[in-house]
Amino acid sequence: MATLSPLLKQATPVLAERGEGVYLYDTAGNRHLDFTAGIGVTNTGHCHPRVVEAAQKQVATLIHGQYTTVMHEPLLRLVDALGEVLPDGLDSLFFLNSGSEAVEASIRLARHATGRQNIVVFHGSFHGRTMGAAALTTAGTKFRAGIGPLMPGVAVAPFPQAYRYGWSEDEAVRFALRELDYLLATVSPASDTAAFMVEPVLGEGGYIPAPPAFLEGLRERADRHGILLIVDEVQTGFGRTGRFWGHEHSAARPDVLITAKGLASGFPLSAIAAPAALMEQAWPGSQGGTYGGNAVSCAAALATLRVVQDEDLVGNSERQGARLGDGLRKVAADHPVIGDVRGLGLMQASEFTGADGEPDAAAAQRAHKAATERGLLLLTCGAYGNVVRMIPPLIVTAEQVDEALGLWSAAVADAVG
């Protein structure tokens, strides 16, 4: 008899049977308010009827049109449609299956296009678990311990973490950019540096939005030194932060954009987009894969994009995100153990800290568990596991936000008294 490997870790004990909108139903018939959205994937809600219909139709027509062997319509239609929402100039794209694969593809592209080797990432970054992506991931030792040696050619610079160090946002940005300049002057010469890779909001690293001035400072340095700016929008894209792309909270525009998760409502699909002139620096056949751009995933992604547009999910993310953030701050005001509430759009988090300002992971884990028991599914994040995050589907209503806040308030009271 086979069993599921114990090396997988599951955040909740739920055995899911069915999903509908923002709710998951388990095999015992219990209803759970899903504020995890499958780690920020089911932005259109579980089993949105238009996504289901598009996928069912495609399954009956062509499942696997292998895109390095034959081209297929769903992929071409999706390329066209994504042109409507991608940043100006990022007019060339191709598809893979997961965020990690797209991150790997962006490393190849950056190295091919610049002839340089190093990638600079920022403390708290999460870019994936495959070996190249793991080398770029600094969100916690659990993602790196015991698997080295990791890919060389990675340098790490500070991310502006104002709360952690008790700084103003300006001070945190100044520190981070000065450290980056120092890194370029010491460890990773600009002439060896292919790219900066950054998340518009640190995701697994603790839900810390990048201040606009930080992203703009990266853009300025990238231009000055001929370094590419790769923006990892795997978690922040497709309306999650209340803008279509997370980087749009700043004036900085990327050279390479990575998207996955929300792109296809749960079907495996990722993409990287860049100017055609940059893609042309690599050669045909330098990227690819068996399943990339799967026809069913592409059909689901096209339906997802239309739902995001037709139902104004970006606007809803901004509106409900503000409501959620305000409610979380009210809960925090009653419980000093929640030292910070932050986020953009429907990417919101509460950080648990002790009286000494140090991370209080035990309190965060208790609150998470109490919420699960009350029927509110959440995730934790942060290097110390002391941040509880909320990432509901972007279709969430004001009533459902209030329902979640009621459960959260009770769960925190259960956890910390």
Binding residues for ligand PMP (CB under 6 A): 39, 98-100, 103, 126-128, 199, 203-204, 232, 234-235, 260
β pairing state of 23-26 and 387-390? unpaired
Q: How far is the CB of 126 from ligand PMP (least distance, A)?
A: 5
For residue 286, what is the DSSP state? Answer: S
When the beta carbons of 109 and 405 are compared against ligand PMP, the nearer one is 109
Q: How far is the CB of 199 from ligand PMP (least distance, A)?
A: 5
Q: How far is the CB of 389 from ligand PMP (least distance, A)?
A: 11
- Could you give the maximum distance between any two Cα atoms of the chain, in Å? 61
When the beta carbons of 203 and 393 are compared against ligand PMP, the nearer one is 203
When the beta carbons of 98 and 265 are compared against ligand PMP, the nearer one is 98
Q: How far is the CB of 39 from ligand PMP (least distance, A)?
A: 6
Q: What sign for the dihedral angle of Cα 176, 89, 39, 140?
A: negative
DSSP letters along 95-146, please?
EESSHHHHHHHHHHHHHHHHS--EEEEETT----SSHHHHHT--S-GGGTTT
Give residue 166's Cα distance to chain centre.
Answer: 25
Residues 6+ apart with CB under 8 A from 371: 377, 378, 388, 407, 408, 411
Q: How far is the CB of 131 from ligand PMP (least distance, A)?
A: 12
When the beta carbons of 103 and 172 are compared against ligand PMP, the nearer one is 103
Q: How far is the CB of 253 from ligand PMP (least distance, A)?
A: 18
Q: How far is the CB of 53 from ligand PMP (least distance, A)?
A: 25
Measured between alpha carbons, how far is residue 384 from residues 328, 348, 362 in Å? 20, 17, 10
Query: Which residue's entry shows tokens 């540096």?
Result: 193
Q: How far is the CB of 374 from ligand PMP (least distance, A)?
A: 25
For residue 188, what is the DSSP state? Answer: S
Residue 14 tokens read as: 């739920």
When the beta carbons of 46 and 127 are compared against ligand PMP, the nearer one is 127
Q: What sign for the dihedral angle of Cα 11, 16, 21, 22?
A: negative
When the beta carbons of 55 and 347 are compared against ligand PMP, the nearer one is 347
Residues 6+ apart with CB under 8 A from 386: 351, 352, 353, 359, 360, 361, 363, 364, 380
When the beta carbons of 130 and 397 are compared against ligand PMP, the nearer one is 130
When the beta carbons of 267 and 352 are compared against ligand PMP, the nearer one is 267
Measured at CB, which residue is nearest to ligand PMP?
99
